[in-house]
Amino acid sequence: MRIVVPAGGIGGARFLRGLRAVLGTGAGTPQEQSTGSITVIGNTGDDITLFGLRICPDLDTVMYTLGGGINEEQGWGRDGETFTVKEELAAYGMKPTWFGLGDRDTATHIVRAQMLAAGYPLSAVTEALCDRWKPGVRLLPMTDDQVETHVVVDDGDGRRAIHFQEWWIRHRAALPAERIVSVGAEEASPAPGVLKAIDEADAVILPPSNPVVSVGSVLGVPGIREAMAAKTVVGVSPIIGGAPVRGMADACLRAVGVETSAGAVAGYLGADLLDGWLVDEADAGTEVEGIEVRSRPLYMSGPEATEAIARAAVDLAVELAAGKGERG
Ligand code: FO1
């Protein structure tokens, strides 16, 4: 079964570990035992240039998590990390100091910066980095063009736009966001292979990533949403019982005027896109017009739980695809 997954950072990456187990595409699984393939369309809206380096948080989080190099409790950055480069930059008075630039992680950013400077597109850079990490999925950036998520805030110094990372890391998304803007999205094109992978997919699964700045950013690249809407799409709610499982998706939802609930997020993603929506038992009874809602435990409390959630998503997609077939 060929599955396409538009993904963001931590929640998406963890879900992908479970989906990889369901399809038997995990690292070390002999090819013949694999029952399918996974193409991840990674969000690049979080990307930021700092100290001459191009940093791609969501691509790196997926790559490290599936490649076995992630800092597990943090959910981002490398395991066994040190911060000597960060300290030395601060000693030179370099700004910003709020970004947690790790030494091991910096090697990834140097490889990326060097390849980009040599003229390679981000998709080629990502493929080269994955040659080392072997994530067991095909990881494509949503676009090779520059798209960045910026947040319009007004904190008494007057209204201004700041980079998503500054809002997220420095301000912990506590500055009320008047608007979230995907700068450059209108002019961007899907990266090579993205539309083909969607077209050839048996299903699209939306992981419990941030619906606004992660899944939303991927859907905002012209052509991607339409291509996905033509497929059977099943999503996993990132909101349980009115709160995000982790991260600050509620701050993002507030910025776009959407209630922090499993049902409201499904409505925000749209019934034109979503065929099925998994919600936690806490949200059983959620109904969304035009979307088949099913409830089950959604806490990714460990590998078994995560695999069971991924399997439920795949099973619902198979069920709905068959139904679609009947309806023609
Ligand atoms: N998140 C933080 O909360 N603090 C950090 O200092 C930080 C540094 C960082 C460095 C590299 C990287 O790939 C991710 C990093 N993140 C950090 C996480 C990142 O801001 C978010 O995971 C995504 O951008 C949101 O999906």
pLDDT tens per residue across span 253-265: 999 999 999 999 9
Report the first-to-last Cα separation within the chain, whole angstroms.
20
Coil, strand or helix at 143: strand
Residue 280 has what DSSP assignment? -
Residue 83 CB–ligand 1 contact under 6 Å: no
Query: Which residue's CA is the nearest one to ligand 1's atom 16?
Result: 76
Q: What is the mean pLDDT of residues 171-186?
A: 96
DSSP 80-110: T---HHHHHHHHTT-S--SS---HHHHHHHH
Confidence of residue 328 (pLDDT cuts 50, 70, 90): very low
Gap from CA of 169 to ligand 1 centroid (Å): 7
Residue 115, C-beta contacts closer than 8 angstroms, at least 6 positions apart: 124, 125, 128
Residue 324, C-beta contacts closer than 8 angstroms, at least 6 positions apart: 232, 275
Gap from CA of 230 to ligand 1 centroid (Å): 33
Q: Looking at residue 31, what is its pLDDT?
A: 66
Q: What is the mean pLDDT of residues 81-91?
A: 98
Summarised one tens digit per residue, pLDDT across range 90-134 is 999 999 999 999 999 999 999 999 999 999 999 999 999 999 999
Gap from CA of 193 to ligand 1 centroid (Å): 27
Q: Looking at residue 28, what is its pLDDT?
A: 63
Gap from CA of 307 to ligand 1 centroid (Å): 25
The number of the ligand 1 atom at minimal distance from the alpha carbon of 213 is: 26
The number of the ligand 1 atom at minimal distance from the alpha carbon of 60 is: 13
Give the type of residue at 257: G
The number of the ligand 1 atom at minimal distance from the alpha carbon of 61 is: 13
Distances in Å between the alpha carbon of 245 and those of 229, 239, 301, 323? 26, 6, 11, 31
Residue 160 forms beta bridges with which residues? 153
> CB of 236 within 8 A of CB of 266?
no
Percent of the chain with pLDDT over 70: 97
d(CA 105, CA 55): 9
More confident residue, 303 or 35: 303
Q: What is the mean pLDDT of residues 20-41?
A: 83
Gap from CA of 217 to ligand 1 centroid (Å): 17
Residue 58 CB–ligand 1 contact under 6 Å: yes
> CB of 42 within 8 A of CB of 141?
yes
Summarised one tens digit per residue, pLDDT across range 144-178 is 999 999 999 988 888 999 999 999 999 999 999 99
The number of the ligand 1 atom at minimal distance from the alpha carbon of 75 is: 22
The number of the ligand 1 atom at minimal distance from the alpha carbon of 43 is: 26
Q: What is the mean pLDDT of residues 196-213?
A: 98
Residue 188, C-beta contacts closer than 8 angstroms, at least 6 positions apart: 142, 143, 145, 146, 147, 221, 222
pLDDT averaged over the chain? 95
Gap from CA of 76 to ligand 1 centroid (Å): 6
Q: Looking at residue 29, what is its pLDDT?
A: 67
Gap from CA of 57 to ligand 1 centroid (Å): 6
Instruction: Report the predicted TM-score, pTM, of the whole model to 2 decimal places.
Output: 0.96
Residue 5 has what DSSP assignment? E
Q: Looking at residue 155, what is its pLDDT?
A: 80
Q: Looking at residue 34, what is its pLDDT?
A: 78
Tokens of residue 233, six digits: 């799409």
Q: Looking at residue 324, what is its pLDDT?
A: 77
Query: Which residue's CA is the nearest one to ligand 1's atom 25?
Result: 9
More confident residue, 309 or 157: 309
The closest of 270, 275, 279, 271 to 324, measured between CA atoms, is 275
Q: Looking at residue 198, what is its pLDDT?
A: 98
